[in-house]
Amino acid sequence: MNNDIKEILYTKENIKEVAEKIGTQLTKDYAGKNPLVVCVLKGAFLFMADIVREIKTYAEIDFMDVSSYGDETESTGEIKIVKDLDVPVEGRNILIVEDIIDTGRTLNCLVDLFNHRKVASVKICTLLDKPDRRVKGIRPDYVGFKVPNEFVVGYGLDYQGHYRNLPYVGILKPAIYENN
């Protein structure tokens, strides 16, 4: 599996450090606000676990599973809710945790959905941001790393279901997806 990686971009130590830094900021920003921290499955599951452990104030967590329509490397703009939240969100402060923002289409749909559900606030925390690819005006509030315009895997991010269990983020060798 490691042989399929062209270059390691962020090690687990790099990610731990950035999660601590973001967590310190979140602890300040959400003190007394009892946020609902929403993990967008599946890719965000590892970063979510890091982030919530660094929030040192009251918070609740929940999970959403959304799938974007498109091929393995690009979304189309429509999302299907595979698993919705378990709790109502009207009046709540929502913090969405993502693994990556690429075109911004997935988050654009999610932010619209939360606003439609009359939340008090909605903010975005993402491990990776790939701003070069943006087609929607989504600006994350908390970002781990800005990534170059390459297809990355690991630390939750997959290619055809694989590589989520890599303990780092790396660039997938193009030969892996070009041969498919």
Ligand X SMILES: Nc1nc2[nH]cnc2c(=O)[nH]1
SS3 147: coil
Q: Does 126 bind ligand PRP (CB under 6 A)?
A: no
Q: Which amino acid is at 17?
A: E
- Mask for 77-116, x = binds ligand X (CB under 6 A): -----------------------x-x--------------
CA gap 176, 85 in Å, rounded? 35
Q: Does 158 bind ligand PRP (CB under 6 A)?
A: yes
Q: Which two tokens stand for residue 31?
A: 């003190």
CA gap 118, 135 in Å, rounded? 25
- Tell me if residue 102 is catalytic: yes
Q: Does 104 bind ligand PRP (CB under 6 A)?
A: yes
The closest residue (CB) to ligand PRP is 43
- Among residues 50, 99, 102, 129, the one annotated as catalytic is 102
Q: What residues does 63 pair with on adjacent strands?
A: 39
Question: Residues touching ligand X: how many (CB under 6 A)?
Answer: 8
CA gap 30, 70 in Å, rounded? 35
- Given ligand PRP, ligand X, none, residue 5, with its beta carbon under 5 to 8 Å by kind, binds none
Q: Where are the beta strands (DSSP E) in 93-173?
A: 93-101, 121-129, 142-146, 152-153, 169-172
- Given ligand PRP, ligand X, none, residue 127, with its beta carbon under 5 to 8 Å by kind, binds none
Q: Which is nearer to ligand X, 20 or 132 (CB)?
A: 132
How many CB atoms within 10 Å of residue 89?
A: 18
Q: Which residues are designated catalytic?
A: 102
Which residues of this protein are in contact with ligand PRP, per CB under 6 A?
Answer: 40-43, 67-68, 75, 98-106, 158
